[in-house]
A and B are shown apart, each in its own frame.
Chain A
Amino acid sequence: MGVGEFLFLLTGLKWTLALSAIGFLCGSAGGLAIALMRTSGVRALERLTGGYIALFQGTPLLMQLFVVYYGLALGGLHLSAWVAVSIGFTLHASAYLGEIWRGSIEAVPRGQTEAASALNLGYAARMKDVVLPQAIRISLPATIGFLVQLIKGTSLASIVGFTELARAGNIVSNQIFQPLLVFGVVGILYFLMCWPLSLYGSHLERRFAVATR
């Protein structure tokens, strides 16, 4: 594998990072909305978001990407692969982050909400200033765990035809007929992205376990 091939892999890596970032950021917005609806106390909203989460957690990410990809095209929207895949990952991340954050919102002691209500804080202030700051802290290890899962998940975009790191690896491997070397390098590149995050996540988890003991 020459320098040119390696640089091509790095171009793929750039798209993997971009896709992960978009999926995570847009998914965070969606996930927050879903978590808030899921804990809103409004029955219809809770049912609806519960169904959404069950649907996305009960089907393979690959299928979600396929259905979004072809579904958008059916709706008459001729979007680039890049936009379609981003939408797919956003919907996927919204469901998982929504479920993680619902758990952490519910893990904040009930007395906190009651105290905030007693102080005459409205719903927005109660969430923004009292519940969410604590919930975010609780959710951090699981959120980072999901981010790692998302980065690894972006490799499936290659099956839909989007050129990111895994597909770049496929292309190079077909060119130079050294699949083991190429996929070894691709694996190492993914590892270098995910491992520091995993270490940070388990560090937070340990610290949190000590703090609540």
Chain B
Amino acid sequence: MNYVLDFTPVLDGLPDLLVGCLGTLLLALGGMAIAIVIGIGGVVLRDSRYKAVRWAVKGFVELIRNTPFLVQIYFIYFALPLAGMRLDPTPTAILALGINGGAYAIEIIRGGVQSISRGQVEAGLALGLHKGLVFRLIVLKPALRAVFPSLASQFILLTLTTSVASAISAFELTSVAQRIESESFRSFEVFGTITLLYLGISWLMMSFFSTISARFFSYPVK
């Protein structure tokens, strides 16, 4: 073995890599925001009184959960222009991440909603609370509290999945790294370094989630 590691290209590209980290965070947070909306909306629609809507939600969840994200992102990337929407790769990637995360969020949040007993809802209605208020305070919040750990680990997975968005050359860490690699041919050094950056990003996300959990979902001290 007579290869000498050379980190100069990585150090030179460090400012770009850090901006790439911000891109990754943007993709992750944007994807999560869409995923939460789809997740909550999907859970509501899953109990719709129309059979077709219920089946559509179920079909969506199964379809997304059983196909690779890479195929989904290609499909969306090529399908959007046909639908008359011209989006840049980065918004396309955020949309794809949101759709993918949304399917998992529906499944996870549904589990939480099912754990709320019917009597709670009836008690809320009996107290004269408005239907929307019952949903928000009695169903949604305790459900989210119950499933928050699963939701958080799913979102960490979503954060890691953002690297796949480099396949459609969205702006994030992996595509920045690929550019530096193709200019310097220092593949191992570049990818080794950004692997550590990803590790940092996922730790950042974990502490972000535990802060949210402590701030919004903890019970008052007993």
Binding site for B on A (CB under 8 A): 55, 58-64, 66-67, 70-71, 73-76, 148, 152-153, 155-156, 158-159, 166, 169-170, 173, 179-180, 183-184, 186-187, 190-191, 194-195, 198
Known: A62-B174, A70-B191. A187 touches B70 (CB 8 A): no
Chain B 67-95 interface mask (CB, 8 Å, partner A; 1/0): 11111101100110010000000000000
Say how far A201's CB is from chain B's closest CB, in angstroms.
Answer: 11
A195 and B66 contact, CB distance less than 8 A: yes
- Across the interface, do B192 and A153 meet the contact criterion of CB distance under 8 Å? no
B68 touches which of A59, A60, A71, A152 (Cβ 8 Å): A152
* CB-based contact B199/A59 at 8 Å: yes
Partner of B66, one of A66, A70, A184, A191: A191
Answer yes or no: B17 CB below 8 A from chain A CBs.
no
A67 partner residues in chain B, CB cutoff 8 A: 188, 191-192, 195
Contacts of A60 in B (CB 8 A): 160-164, 174, 198
Check A190 against B66 for contact (C-beta < 8 Å): yes
Count of A-B residue pairs with CB < 8 Å:
109
B116 to chain A, nearest CB (A): 17
Do residues A63 and B191 form an inter-chain contact, with CB atoms below 8 A? Answer: yes
Q: Given the complex, which residues of B lie within 8 Å of A153, measured CB to CB? A: 68
Complex contact B75–A63 (CB within 8 A): no
- How long is the Cα–Cα vector from A190 to B67 in the complex, in angstroms? 6
| A9 → B minimal CB distance (Å) | 12
Task: Report Cα–Cα, A98/B78, bound state, in Å.
Answer: 38
Give the interface SS of chain B, mostly helix, strand, loop or mixed.
helix
Q: Tell me, rounded to whole Å, the shortest Cβ–Cβ distance linking B189 to chain A.
A: 9
Closest-CB distance, A60 to chain B (whole angstroms): 4
Whether B188 and A70, one on each chain, are in contact in the complex, defined by CB atoms closer than 8 angstroms, is: yes
A79 to B70, CA, bound (A): 25
Partner of B67, one of A70, A159, A191: A191
Query: Which residues of the partner chain A approach B199 to less than 8 Å between Cβ atoms?
Result: 55, 58-59
> CA A198 – CA B65 in complex, angstroms?
9
B111 to chain A, nearest CB (A): 11
Given known contacts A152-B69, A166-B71, A58 and B203 CB-to-CB distance under 8 angstroms? yes
- Which of B72, B187, B188 is packed against the most chain A CB atoms within 10 Å? B188
Residue B216 interfacial (CB < 8 Å): no
Q: In whole angstroms, what is the CA distance A66 to B68 when docked?
A: 18
B192: contacting residue among A62, A71, A179, A183, CB under 8 A: A71
| Residue of B63, B68, B156 with highest tally of chain A CB at under 10 A | B68
